[in-house]
C-alpha cells in the first residue's frame, strides 16, 4: 500500500538525522553485534551496550499508533508541542486526522504487530529527490518496503545519457 508523507517534513527529519553524531537504534540494530560497544558480547543487549556512533543516519518507519517516519538522530528532534519526537505521519494512517480508519490501514500495510524499520539516509534522500514537487511515498506491506528513486542516467549506444527513470528501491 502506498503511504504518503509531507515532503518538507521528511526532509527536515532527514537533515536532523544526518547532522547528529549519534543515532538511536531500531530493535534489529540493538541486537546486532556490529553496533555493540567494544568488549560487549551480551546475548541480551540493552541500549547501554550499543555504541550510538556506529548506528548509521536514517529514518525509522514506525508502526504503532499510526504509521510515521522519525529521525534516528540522538538527541531526538522534539515535537514543537513538547510531546516527544517530531514525526511525519503517513496521511493514510494518521490517528489525528483519520481516527476511524488509521488502524485498518496500519494492519493492511505494516502488519498487526508494532515495530520500527530502519531506512537509510541515502534511501530517503533518493526518494525525496525522486518526488520533488509532490508528496513522498513509500510502498509498505508486511513483507516489503519500497520507495521511489531516480536511477543513474543510462547511456545509449552513442554514449550519451538517456536520463533517469523513476524506479523503486527496496529496504
In terms of pLDDT, which residue wins out, 6 or 43?
6
- In the chain, helix, strand, coil percent, each to 5? 25, 30, 45
Among residues of the chain, what percentage have pLDDT more than 70?
87
Residue 108: alpha-carbon gap to chain centroid: 18
pLDDT at 44: 87
State mean pLDDT over 7-22: 97
pLDDT at 41: 85
* Pair 137, 148: CB distance under 8 Å: yes
Query: Closest by alpha carbon to 142, among 111, 96, 106, 104?
Result: 111
Rounded Cα distance, 108 and 51, in Å: 35
Average pLDDT across the chain, whole number: 88
- The pLDDT tens digits of the residues spanning 92-115 come to 999 999 999 999 999 999 998 999
- Record the pTM: 0.86
DSSP state of 84: S
pLDDT at 92: 97
Q: How many helices (H) and strands (E) does the chain have?
A: 4, 10
State mean pLDDT over 53-80: 96
pLDDT at 150: 66
- The pLDDT tens digits of the residues spanning 126-168 come to 999 999 998 999 999 989 999 988 654 444 444 443 333 333 4
Rounded Cα distance, 77 and 16, in Å: 7
* Pair 49, 36: CB distance under 8 Å: yes
* Pair 72, 60: CB distance under 8 Å: yes
Amino acid at each position: 500500500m502506498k503511504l504518503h508523507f509531507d515532503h518538507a517534513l521528511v526532509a527536515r527529519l532527514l537533515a536532523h538525522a544526518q547532522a547528529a553524531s549519534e543515532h538511536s537504534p531500531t530493535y534489529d540494530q540493538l541486537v546486532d553485534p556490529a553496533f555493540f560497544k567494544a568488549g560487549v558480547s551480551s546475548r541480551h543487549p540493552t541500549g547501554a551496550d550499543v555504541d550510538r556512533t556506529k548506528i548509521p543516519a536514517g529514518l525509522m518507519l514506525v508502526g504503532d499508533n499510526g504509521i510515521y517516519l522519525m529521525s534516528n538522530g540522538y538527541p531526538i528532534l522534539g515535537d514543537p508541542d513538547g510531546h516527544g519526537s517530531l514525526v511525519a505521519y503517513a496521511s493514510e494512517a494518521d490517528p489525528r486526522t483519520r481516527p476511524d480508519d488509521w488502524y485498518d490501514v496500519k494492519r493492511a500495510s505494516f502488519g498487526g504487530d508494532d515495530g520500527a524499520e530502519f531506512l537509510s539516509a541515502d534511501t530517503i534522500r533518493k526518494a525525496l529527490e525522486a518526488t520533488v514537487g509532490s508528496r513522498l511515498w513509500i510502498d509498505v506491506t508486511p513483507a516489503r518496503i519500497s520507495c521511489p528513486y531516480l536511477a543513474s542516467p543510462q547511456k545509449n549506444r552513442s554514449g550519451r545519457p538517456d536520463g533517469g527513470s523513476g524506479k523503486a528501491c527496496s529496504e
